[in-house]
Chain A
Amino acid sequence: MKPAPFAYYDPSTLEEAVSLLEAQGGEAKLIAGGQSLVPLLNMRLARPTAVIDLNRIDGLSYIREEGGRLAIGAMTRQREIERSELVQRRQPLLHAATKLIAHPQIRNRGTIGGSLAHADPAAEYPALALALDAELRVLGPNGQRAIAAADFFVTYLTTALEPSEVVTEVRLPALPERTGWSVLELSRRHGDFALAGVGTTLTLAAAGSIEDARVVLFGVAATPLRATAAEAMLRGERPTEALFAEAGRAAAAAVEDALSDIHASAEYRRHLVSVLTKRALTEASSRAGAS
């Protein structure tokens, strides 16, 4: 399982990376952590004319808080995010989701930008970006632009990135007050891709009813999905077991075109959505109560 031949570039600035992408006319691939790309190269499922390495570019790895939001550089390793005290404190959902990614050795190399750009339907970071209405900053030949997470994930392994664009940063909100969270997934083995996963935040009003609810599903469709029907059902209601079960059913029913493979049929995935949503909301609710 050896890769087909390719040219290799390791630019030292983002601008160079963008020009190289342009010069290769859409036939090149960026390498960040490489944990998704190199297996594809080894299996000859990816056959780029060139591989453009982002690892020599300084200034792309950082975790900062700016005005109530976290700004994370695209080349920040998942390991750094996992160990960041700032993340654990200000956006514990991101911390928890990071711990679910594969295994430590993968997280030592994998990056947040790479994970978002690769857009695997079962990956945790795309789902989280969608749940938290993250903003992705990208650089292309026409300059910088921001893409909302809701617009970023187009279909299976496909994002709104133009062929010569590079993700440079992701911004997401810190967890608001009185907000509980949960991220649950079901996989065949510990660390495997989720057959179905649910991420949720529940913000409670002072009186105890649900002020805001975010429910994102991953692993079940070509992209992560916001379970908007379930979210609407939850807003304004008091948190109860029955409500969460109903929300779970609503989330499941709204999944059109569920994925189906040897590990899980579409029907089973939808069922898992309903179970995991209910369980995640229950967990988030108790965290909200505790905070």
Chain B
Amino acid sequence: MTDREEAHRLELPRSIAELPTTAARFVGKQVPRVEDRMLLTGRTEFIDNVTLPGMLHCAILRSPYPHARITKIDTSAAEALPGVAAVLTAEDCVRWTRVLPTMPPGWGTYSLAQDKVRFVGEPVAAVAATTRYIAEDAIELIEVDYEPLPPVVDPAKAIEPDSPLIFEENGTNIMYQRFFHWGDVDRAFAEASHVVSETFRWHRVGANPLETFGVVSQWDPVDASLTCWGSFQAPSYTARGRAVALQIPSHKVRFIGQPHGGSFGGKGGGRGTDVSVLLSRKTGGRPVKWIEDRMELLIGGSSQAWDRHYEASLALKADGTATAFRVKLIDDLGATAEGFGASGAAKPLACFTGCYAIEAAEYDLTIVATNKVPASPYRGMGPPPHNFVLEHLMDKAAHELDIDPAEIRRRNFIPPDQFPYTIPSGNEYDSGNYAASLDKLLEMSDYQRLRAEQEEARRQGRYLGIGVVSTIEPGVFDWGAYAIVGARGTGVPEGATVGLDVMGKVIVRVGFPMEGQGQYTLIAQLMSDYFGVTPEDVQVVQPDTLSAPPHFGPGGSRLGVAITGAVLGAAVTLRDKLIKVAAHLLQVEPGAMELMDGKLRVKDDHERALTVQQAAATMLMRADLLPRDVEPSPEATYVWTAPDRTSGDEQGRSKGYLTATNACHLVLVEVDIETGQVEILKYYIVDDCGTRLNPATLEGMLQGAVAQGVGAALLEEYVYDDAGQPLTTTFMDYLLPTVHEVPMTEKASLVTPSPFTPLGAKGAGEGAINTTPAAIMCAINDALRPLGVTAREVPATPQRIWRLLQDARRPA
């Protein structure tokens, strides 16, 4: 960077100690959440609370076939039902919209199926009526004639040349196929003294937030503009996407993201939004509400991910250090690429070789279309299955080489003095000390005693297993991370406006809604310590997408970093203005002043000071007292994006994720070998997410992600039969973990601050889900190894474990 660039670069505090406060009172501490009072009293305005005059309710008619031509639609009986205001079919979509954008491009349809249906649950028609009850009555009156086509359900068959095609016009069911080669993998395998290989099957699993998706859309026919309220995870992105799909000029589209009941990647909007918009348009501008119900989410929603078939190998030297890692993945993405689930196949590049100094790797990736629900992002975004594969192979190598599983990892860790470290697939890890995390984990879990317990249990005929795993959670994504599947651009701007009013209260405007991670509390903490106030003096406001600063929101584990960067950048800019004002009033040079504990004071004469409130009030009310080059506005906007991002070279290598959090887990399980049931007995975590801005939030993120990891490993699975019919259509069949199934975990932390981020924080929301399935599967295999059993299919249901035990007992 040149001197000129340096001079203009905004200096954000690089640690909590650099905040302008003698001692941080809020950042880094547990504080009552500002969101909680409203949530606890049931007053938060989730989308289903939004009611507008004349509002109609939408119900969607969905395909009962996985693959069929639509030969006729007759909506006349539905239209005639009292209370029905409009009925929508694909004809309306063709007239008013474009085909949905997809990633990879070219695998999309209209929001309502046109000519053919491609998955059970695909929207075919929609009704707007005075109540949801009547709307559901009406969709039953819509007559649709289908001509069933042979369903494509097995991705291996889908790529055969004679397979029926999901999109005839594409000539294939292969959405994407590439072979990535980083470093000399062939030589590493040829020279390896030991190779371990395995195949794996990871079944569909998905977000299932407790609140389903919802939207209220209102078309204004006079202004030809659109307003949507909804549980949008990233309102500006959804707004932009809808403007394109619905062919509305972008400045005429206004989205309001409501606080929502979790999302975990699955609240992008998509078809439901479009359908409600078109119904509003068709009714001449009445607001139309669509609340996805649970069955709709399970059968046709944005909640299915990671339907995967893996073949993988690790090449090792005799001492257990791995030299190369080969992965072949067939990813069954479902019927279209509209859900952006392909990003989950790209993200593993950001942590491909995990915590390990493996120098060469290969990724043979095929993404396939089948007649199932289009896959969507789900927390973790792809690494959970990938990490399971890598950690399993590490354990397998440990066993075959007679090295302790914790020790083999230690031998492979990237040493702490090698950061920033670039992995073969191109991403850069910012900082870390994996060996120290492991040490802490083994100590807190009393690892040696657990091994002794395991031995003793074996003698008694009980099967305990220990899984020790260490993974990387990439944080703060940039588009380059998904460049290989078609994402374009660099930079994910996150903006905030920070302002003071005459009373010295702090108002912060951001673009994203509340989702559960305590975003607004973090902002209040930061501004309290920055301006010497308390969280009660801070108000976070979220305007609509036309008034908000550029934003993406907390997705991709961005919260601790991007939003921190945005508000601190705005605060720093505002501080500079306030100092100019104070310096002018105190008749010193701005360079002689500093902000500390809410006071703008002369550095070597602290008595000469103005409070932040006084400076702000002066700016707003005494323009005569201001220096010429300061506008009377105690407010500043800053838009943060991760520095030095790259968009991906010809081998897909990019600096796609800014931070690398380390998650180190140890789990003790017992397997009942008569029934195949797995019980989790103990669970320990050491987590290094850099500077810890809010310990309670971080622990909550960890524990919540552990629960999802337990669900993925043992309980949750979207099942389709051979004819493409979904069999998990209610919560009786898709099993979310309850308090009985989730272990209470013992947590400790290590802190290796990031050199690249404001305050040194790293992304922290996804680490446990990336790690827990690997830990549990390793533990199961550790338990059952003496019986010659290898569990390679996730979830490890009791029946699957029992079947493995049966097969192992049979004579060869």
Identify the A interface with B (CB < 8 A): 1-5, 43-44, 186, 188-193, 195, 261-265, 268, 271-272, 275
Pairs A-B, 9 closest by C-beta atoms? A190-B740, A2-B133, A275-B674, A1-B293, A268-B799, A262-B719, A2-B136, A262-B727, A188-B735
Complex Cα distance, B263 from A160, in Å, reads 47
> A196's closest neighbor in chain B, by CB?
B675
Complex Cα distance, B222 from A96, in Å, reads 67
Contact partners of B133 in chain A: CB under 8 A: 2-3
Contact partners of A263 in chain B: CB under 8 A: 733, 797, 799
Complex Cα distance, B674 from A227, in Å, reads 20
Asked, given contacts A191-B740, A262-B728, A265-B799, whether A272 binds B675 with beta carbons under 8 Å apart, the answer is yes
Q: B295 to A189, Cβ gap below 8 A?
A: no
> In angstroms, how far is the closest chain B Cβ from the Cβ of A85?
27
Complex Cα distance, B140 from A44, in Å, reads 11
Contact partners of B719 in chain A: CB under 8 A: 262
Contact partners of A261 in chain B: CB under 8 A: 727
List 14 interface pairs A-B (beta carbons < 8 Å), by A numbering: A2-B133, A4-B140, A43-B295, A44-B136, A186-B798, A189-B715, A189-B737, A189-B738, A190-B738, A190-B740, A190-B741, A192-B735, A265-B799, A268-B803
Contact indicator per residue, chain B 128-140, by CB within 8 Å of chain A (1) or not (0): 0000110011001
Contact indicator per residue, chain B 286-309, by CB within 8 Å of chain A (1) or not (0): 000000011100000000000000
Complex Cα distance, B741 from A4, in Å, reads 36
Complex Cα distance, B798 from A186, in Å, reads 10
Complex Cα distance, B716 from A263, in Å, reads 11
Q: B738 to A268, Cβ gap below 8 A?
A: no
Contact partners of A193 in chain B: CB under 8 A: 732
Residue B802 lies at the interface, judged by CB distance under 8 Å to chain A:
yes
Contact partners of A191 in chain B: CB under 8 A: 738, 740
Q: A4 to B137, Cβ gap below 8 A?
A: yes
Asked, given contacts A43-B730, A263-B799, whether A1 binds B137 with beta carbons under 8 Å apart, the answer is no
> B739's closest neighbor in chain A, by CB?
A190
Complex Cα distance, B40 from A24, in Å, reads 46
> A265's closest neighbor in chain B, by CB?
B799
From B675, B737, B738, name the one whose CB has the most chain A CB atoms within 10 angstroms. B675
Contact partners of A195 in chain B: CB under 8 A: 798
Known: A1-B293, A262-B719. 12 other contacts (CB 8 A): A1-B136, A1-B294, A2-B132, A3-B133, A191-B740, A192-B735, A193-B732, A262-B727, A262-B728, A262-B733, A263-B733, A275-B674
Contact partners of A186 in chain B: CB under 8 A: 675, 677, 798
Q: B738 to A275, Cβ gap below 8 A?
A: no
- Partner of A189 from the list B136, B293, B740, B799 (CB cut-off 8 Å) is B740
Contact partners of A3 in chain B: CB under 8 A: 133
Contact partners of B803 in chain A: CB under 8 A: 268
Contact partners of A189 in chain B: CB under 8 A: 715, 735, 737-738, 740-741
> B295's closest neighbor in chain A, by CB?
A1
Contact partners of A265 in chain B: CB under 8 A: 799
Contact partners of A4 in chain B: CB under 8 A: 137, 140
> In angstroms, how far is the closest chain B Cβ from the Cβ of A264?
6
Complex Cα distance, B730 from A262, in Å, reads 13
Complex Cα distance, B132 from A79, in Å, reads 34
Complex Cα distance, B737 from A192, in Å, reads 11
Complex Cα distance, B137 from A192, in Å, reads 31
Q: B799 to A264, Cβ gap below 8 A?
A: yes
- Partner of B675 from the list A2, A44, A190, A275 (CB cut-off 8 Å) is A275
> A264's closest neighbor in chain B, by CB?
B799
Complex Cα distance, B83 from A5, in Å, reads 14
For window 694-752 of B, CB contacts with A under 8 Å fall at 715, 719, 727-728, 730, 732-733, 735, 737-738, 740-741
> In angstroms, how far is the closest chain A Cβ from the Cβ of B709?
16
From A4, A190, A268, name the one whose CB has the most chain B CB atoms within 10 angstroms. A268
Contact partners of B295 in chain A: CB under 8 A: 1, 43
For window 374-421 of B, CB contacts with A under 8 Å fall at none
Contact partners of B737 in chain A: CB under 8 A: 189
Contact partners of A43 in chain B: CB under 8 A: 295, 730
Asked, given contacts A4-B137, A43-B730, A275-B674, whether A188 binds B715 with beta carbons under 8 Å apart, the answer is yes
Complex Cα distance, B798 from A193, in Å, reads 15
Contact partners of B802 in chain A: CB under 8 A: 268, 271
> In angstroms, how far is the closest chain B Cβ from the Cβ of A268?
5
Contact partners of B798 in chain A: CB under 8 A: 186, 188, 195, 268
Complex Cα distance, B466 from A98, in Å, reads 36
> In angstroms, how far is the closest chain B Cβ from the Cβ of A38?
13
Contact partners of B140 in chain A: CB under 8 A: 4
Complex Cα distance, B675 from A271, in Å, reads 8
Complex Cα distance, B741 from A189, in Å, reads 7
Complex Cα distance, B674 from A53, in Å, reads 45
Complex Cα distance, B137 from A70, in Å, reads 46
Complex Cα distance, B676 from A263, in Å, reads 13
> In angstroms, how far is the closest chain A Cβ from the Cβ of B718?
10
> In angstroms, how far is the closest chain A Cβ from the Cβ of B721?
9
> A103's closest neighbor in chain B, by CB?
B738
Complex Cα distance, B140 from A268, in Å, reads 39
Contact partners of A190 in chain B: CB under 8 A: 738, 740-741
> In angstroms, how far is the closest chain B Cβ from the Cβ of A260?
11
Complex Cα distance, B733 from A193, in Å, reads 11
Complex Cα distance, B810 from A233, in Å, reads 28
Contact indicator per residue, chain B 656-679, by CB within 8 Å of chain A (1) or not (0): 000000000000000000110100
Complex Cα distance, B676 from A271, in Å, reads 11
Complex Cα distance, B779 from A229, in Å, reads 40
Q: B137 to A5, Cβ gap below 8 A?
A: yes
Complex Cα distance, B295 from A2, in Å, reads 11
> B293's closest neighbor in chain A, by CB?
A1
Contact partners of A275 in chain B: CB under 8 A: 674-675
Complex Cα distance, B675 from A262, in Å, reads 16
Contact indicator per residue, chain B 118-156, by CB within 8 Å of chain A (1) or not (0): 000000000000001100110010000000000000000
> In angstroms, how far is the closest chain A Cβ from the Cβ of B212?
11
Complex Cα distance, B728 from A5, in Å, reads 26
Complex Cα distance, B802 from A261, in Å, reads 16
> A276's closest neighbor in chain B, by CB?
B675
> In angstroms, how far is the closest chain B Cβ from the Cβ of A217?
15
Contact partners of B728 in chain A: CB under 8 A: 262
